[in-house]
Amino acid sequence: MIVKLNIPVTPMPHQSVRVTRTGRTYQPKKIIDYKSQIAKVVGEQLPDDFCVIKADSQIHIKRLHYVFKYTKSIPKYKRQGMVYKHTKPDLHDNLNKALFDALEGVVWERDQNVVAMDDVKKYYGEDDAIIMEIECLNC
């Protein structure tokens, strides 16, 4: 089974929990909103007969592209094709963590079952988006 997703949101890195002066920990509101927005959009894109990938399954992410809207500093003549983004946020740690946490319970039960990732990129494009292609290896 292969699932293709095009999530029209601005990719956002995962921030660690914050701690108040009294020692209480909390997740920043913008991260909570980001995760719920992804879960909602993905839920609408999944086929009607889709069921959550079980915890004992192996998940292969065939394609994962983080597309950031062009900044004003990139000249228009360079805005053709793919312009790689080589600045923050970090591709593998921060961007993936927030996305995978948001997909937990919607696409898969546990994100620890992702065993392989191919074609992982971050680049500039016309609009913000996250493009994914997910394959369950033993479903």
Please tell me the predicted confidence (pLDDT) of residue 77. Answer: 87
pLDDT band at 4 (very low <50, low <70, confident <90, very high): very high
pLDDT of 93 reads 77
pLDDT at 42 > cutoff 90? yes
Residue 80 per-residue DSSP state: S
Residue 83 confidence (pLDDT) above 80? yes
pLDDT at residue 17 greater than cutoff 90: no
Please tell me the distance from the alpha carbon of residue 72 to that of residue 105, in angstroms, as a whole number: 37
Domain that holds residue 104: 2-136
What pLDDT score was predicted for residue 62? 96
pLDDT, residue 129, reads: 96
Token pair for 67: 């597309």
- Top-confidence residue, 81 or 114: 114
The tally of domains found in the chain comes to 1
The per-residue DSSP string of 31-75 comes to HHHHHHHHHHHHHHHS-TT--PBPTTS-EEEEEEEEEEEPPTTS-
Surface-to-core class of residue 95, CB atoms within 10 Å of its CB (0-12 exposed, 13-18 middle, 19+ buried): buried
CATH code for the domain of 104: 3.30.1330.70
Calculate mean pLDDT across residues 3-20.
Answer: 90
Q: Which residues contact 30 (CB under 8 A, 6 or more apart)?
A: 12
DSSP assignment of 99-112, as one string? HHHHHBTTTBS-GG
Is the pLDDT at 92 greater than 80? The verdict is no
